[in-house]
A = this chain, B = another copy of it.
Amino acid sequence: MEEKLTVGAAAAETGWSARMLRYLEEHGLVVPARSPAGYRVYRLPELNRLRSLRDLRRSFGLDLADLAFARRLRREPELKRAVDNWLAAADDSGSWVEWEQRKHERLLTA
C-alpha cells in the first residue's frame, strides 16, 4: 500500500498538529504534494522528515531560525569565517551560557 496521508492523518502519525504541518509547509520546511482537489498528500519521505524534525527540536531545542542559520553557515563560507573569528575572540569572556540555557529550558517545557 502506497501510504498517502492527508494532513490530519499525517499530523496524528508524526506528533504535530495539522496547523503546524501547514505552517511548516508555508515556510518551506516540509512541502507535501497535492491531490487533484488540492489536498495535501504526505508520503513516506515527508513523514520521515517530519519525525526527524520533531526529534531535532525535542532533543536539542532548535527553532526554525536555527535551522535556517545552520544552512547559511554551510553555504556562505565568508559568513562562517567571520562568525568563527568572532567566536574565537569572544570565547574567553562573557557568560554566554545563560542565553543557551534559557532557550533550552524554554523549549523543553513547551
Contacts and interface: CB of A to CB of B under 8 A. Distances in A.
A89 interface: yes
A108 to B, nearest CB: 14
A56 interface: yes
Interface string A73-91: 1101001001111110111
Interface residues of A, number: 44
Contact of A28 (B60, B64, B87, B97): B97
A49 B85 CA distance: 11
A105 interface: no
B68 A96 contact: yes
Given A62-B83, A70-B83, A87-B74, A99 B56 contact: no
A27 B72 CA distance: 24
Interface of A: 27-31, 45, 49, 52-53, 56, 59-60, 62, 64-74, 76, 79, 82-87, 89-91, 93-100, 103
